[in-house]
């Protein structure tokens, strides 16, 4: 019999707050974390704005010497992981606890991994020679380092890996972790995503392909999902780690259950490296698969946290996907994209938005899509504009798409014993 999987904790680092409570409050208040890039001189770039993590001090979590051995995306994962562990009431060292460390896994992913270390060490190679490249260059660069660092930090010896599926990475991680517990390969999984994409090569690359917004003089209104005048996404950074746990295991240790994971669907467009399937059918199929596994009908879902990147193509084709998968229910299901506030955190986006879905279920509040000023006739969903809306939310779905044609949907439900 398949195991039931619940969520017992989460942690967040984001451009609108460095813990889950501050993050959620910012979304409900319609605050935007986007602004001019300060991490490097972006004056010569087509896009000069991003969602930077602010006031982050890794030495609150690890000694300064140890922090120099890890890239920033790993540092974000550690901070989010520590909050997740703490909020779930779990030990910092599973090996020294009564829990079985062999049944605790980590699946934390990244879209681009240690891109800052990659570019920094590449410059050292060509400017100073191969002998000056850091012996830690490779472990700082590789995208699985975040999962590895968390596994080492907590002595978690169960399944341990990362997924690279661009902007769907975080959502895939939560879904795959759900399946790992469901098939009884682990009791606890730390799942999520982390990203440090505000680096020159990423900002320049996205701008060159005309994927990012050019509203450099107005960053607070640059990310405008589903709005008629959207002109591209705004890159951001951060991390979210979610604690998934087998139901009976959580109940036995007296954990507070925040929500249940009930469905997961993953598909591919097989169409184009950057453009979504123009029919929306591949993403719609991911929704249908997730609903089939969950044993629910479309009209039972109360809220969708849409991928909603604020690009002309994504929002249009995602609308087609939701209308295809939901039929008549697409007219009534509440939809919002929180990327108006957070920008697009790439591989961390699906993890951050998993926290949004769980918080929506916990509080009965649909967070708003800010900067939604002019409705787009081609995005005729039940968008929640600019202000949060209170309504009962029993079931919520998170949808994420990634370059390469990756689609992922995870469905969550209010816990009912």
In the beta sheet, which residues pair with residue 49? 36
Measured at the CA of 299, the angle between CA 298 and CA 305, to 5 degrees, comes to 70
* Residue 197 burial (10 A CB sphere; 0-12, 13-18, 19+): buried
- Which is catalytic among the residues 74, 307, 357, 406? 307
Asked if residue 273 lies in contact with residue 110, where contact means CB atoms within 8 angstroms, the answer is no
Where b means 16+ CB within 10 Å and e means fewer, 227-253 reads beebbbbbbbbbbbbbbbbbbebbeeb
- Which is catalytic among the residues 172, 249, 293, 344? 344
Whole-angstrom Cα distance, residue 109 to residue 174? 10
Q: Note if 249 is an active site residue.
A: no
Residue 232, phi-psi category: left (phi > 0), alpha (psi -120 to 50), beta (remainder): left
Q: Note if 357 is an active site residue.
A: no
Asked if residue 308 lies in contact with residue 318, where contact means CB atoms within 8 angstroms, the answer is yes
Q: Note if 344 is an active site residue.
A: yes
Q: Containing H/E element for 347?
A: none
Altogether, the residues listed in the chain come to a count of 417
- Which is catalytic among the residues 32, 167, 171, 379? 167
List, by residue number, the catalytic residues. 167, 307, 344
């Amino acid at each position: 019999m398949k195991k039931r999987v619940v969520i017992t904790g989460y942690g967040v680092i984001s451009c609108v707050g460095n813990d889950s409570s501050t993050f959620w409050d910012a979304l409900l208040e319609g605050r935007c974390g986007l602004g001019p890039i300060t991490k490097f001189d972006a004056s010569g770039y087509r896009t000069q704005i991003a969602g930077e993590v602010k006031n982050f001090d890794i030495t609150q979590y690890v000694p300064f010497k140890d922090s120099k051995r890890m890239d920033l995306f790993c540092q974000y994962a550690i901070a989010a992981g520590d909050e997740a562990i703490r909020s779930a009431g779990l030990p910092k060292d599973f090996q020294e606890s009564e829990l079985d460390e062999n049944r605790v896994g980590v699946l934390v992913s990244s879209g681009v991994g240690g891109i800052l270390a990659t570019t920094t060490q590449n410059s050292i190679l060509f400017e100073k020679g191969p002998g000056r490249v850091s012996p830690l260059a490779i472990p700082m660069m590789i995208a699985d380092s975040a999962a590895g660092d968390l596994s080492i930090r907590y002595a978690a010896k169960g399944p341990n890996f990362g997924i690279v599926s661009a902007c769907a990475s975080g959502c895939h991680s939560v879904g795959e972790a759900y399946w790992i517990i469901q098939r009884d390969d682990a009791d606890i999984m730390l799942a999520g995503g982390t990203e440090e994409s505000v680096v020159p090569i990423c900002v320049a690359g996205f701008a060159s392909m005309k994927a990012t917004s050019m509203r450099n003089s107005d960053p607070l209104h640059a990310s405008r999902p589903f709005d008629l005048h959207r002109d591209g996404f705004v890159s951001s950074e951060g991390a979210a780690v979610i604690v998934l746990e087998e139901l009976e295991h959580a109940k036995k240790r007296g954990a507070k259950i925040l929500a249940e994971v009930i469905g997961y669907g993953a598909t591919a467009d097989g169409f184009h490296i950057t453009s979504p399937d123009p029919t929306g059918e591949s993403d719609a199929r991911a929704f249908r698969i997730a609903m089939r596994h969950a044993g629910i009908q479309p009209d039972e879902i109360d809220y969708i946290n849409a991928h909603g990147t604020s690009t002309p193509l994504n929002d249009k084709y995602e609308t087609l996907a939701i209308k295809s998968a939901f039929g008549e229910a697409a007219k009534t299901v509440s939809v919002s994209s929180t990327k108006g506030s957070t920008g697009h955190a790439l591989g961390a986006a699906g993890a951050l938005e998993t926290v949004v879905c769980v918080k929506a279920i916990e509080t009965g509040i649909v967070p708003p899509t800010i900067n939604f000023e002019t409705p787009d006739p081609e995005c005729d969903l039940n968008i929640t504009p600019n202000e949060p809306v209170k309504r009962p939310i029993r079931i919520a779905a998170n949808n994420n798409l990634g370059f390469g044609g990756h689609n992922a949907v995870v469905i969550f439900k209010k816990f009912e014993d």
